[in-house]
Amino acid sequence: MSLFDFKFILFMVMVLTIYYICDKKWRWCVLLAASAIFFIAACSVNLFLVFALMSFLTWGAAYSLSYLSERNKKIITGTTIFILLLFLFFYKDFAFVFINLRLLESIFDFKTGLTAPHWLAPLGISYFTLILIGYLLDVCWGAVKAQKNPLKVLLFAGYFPQLTTGPFTRYTQMREGLYAGGNFNLSNVWNGLQRAIWGFFKVVVISTRLQVLVTTIYDTQLPATGLQYTGCFTIKGATLYVTYVYVNFSGSMDVVIGLSEMFGITLPENFNRPFSSTSLSEFWRRWHITLGLWLKDFVLYPVLKSPALATVRNYCQKTFGKKVSKRVPTYIGMFVTWFCVGFWHGGSYKFIFSSGLFFFIMIVGGMLLEPVFDSLIKIFRINTNCQSWIWFQRIRTASLFILSVSFGRASSLSTGFSMWDAAFANFNLRDITVWETWQNMGLATSDFWIIGFGLFLMFMVSHIQTITNGSVRKWLSEQNIVFHLSIIFMLGSCVIAIGSFSDKVDLMYGNF
> How far, in Å, CA of 426 to CA of 438, rounded?
19
Q: Is-contact 300 340, C-beta < 8 A? A: no
How confident is residue 410, by pLDDT bands cut at 50, 70 and 90?
Answer: confident
Note the Cα 40 to chain centre separation in Å: 23
> How far, in Å, CA of 479 to CA of 492, rounded?
19
Q: Quick one: pLDDT at residue 228? A: 47
Q: Higher-confidence residue: 71 or 4?
A: 71
> How far, in Å, CA of 279 to CA of 27, rounded?
44
Q: Is-contact 309 335, C-beta < 8 A? A: no
Q: Is-contact 164 2, C-beta < 8 A? A: yes
Query: Torsion over CA of 299, 303, 306 and 312, rounded to 10 degrees?
Result: 180
Tell me: cis bond preceding 371? Omega within 30 of 0 counts: no
Percent of the chain with pLDDT over 90: 64
Percent of the chain with pLDDT over 70: 95
Q: Among 255, 258, 290, 259, which residue's Cα sits nearest to residue 272?
A: 290
Reported pTM? 0.92
> How far, in Å, CA of 180 to CA of 25, rounded?
7
* DSSP-assigned letters across all residues of 3-17: TTSHHHHHHHHHHHH
| Residue 320 scores a pLDDT above 50 | yes
Average pLDDT over residues 476-483: 91
| Residue 223 scores a pLDDT above 80 | no
3-state helix, strand, coil in the chain (%, to 5): 75, 0, 25
- Residue 412 has what DSSP assignment? S
Q: Among 167, 192, 158, which residue's Cα sits nearest to residue 42?
A: 158
Q: What H or E segment, with its residue span, contains residue 240? A: helix 231-262
Q: Among 190, 263, 259, which residue's Cα sits nearest to residue 19?
A: 263
**116-120, 125-129, 308-312, 462-466 — which is least confidently predicted?**
116-120
Q: Is-contact 105 111, C-beta < 8 A? A: yes
In this predicted model, what pLDDT tens digit does every residue of 422-444 receive, in sequence order?
A: 777 777 777 777 777 787 788 88
Q: Among 364, 407, 110, which residue's Cα sits nearest to residue 234?
A: 407
Q: Is-contact 220 415, C-beta < 8 A? A: no
Q: Quick one: pLDDT at residue 100? A: 80
In this predicted model, what pLDDT tens digit does every residue of 149-193 receive, in sequence order?
A: 999 999 999 999 998 888 999 999 999 999 988 888 999 999 999
Kindly list the domain boundaries of the chain, sorted by start residue: 6-164, 190-271+410-498
How confident is residue 227, by pLDDT bands cut at 50, 70 and 90?
Answer: very low
Nearest-10 crossing angle of helices 27-42, 45-64: 130
* Cβ atoms < 10 Å from Cβ of 11: 17
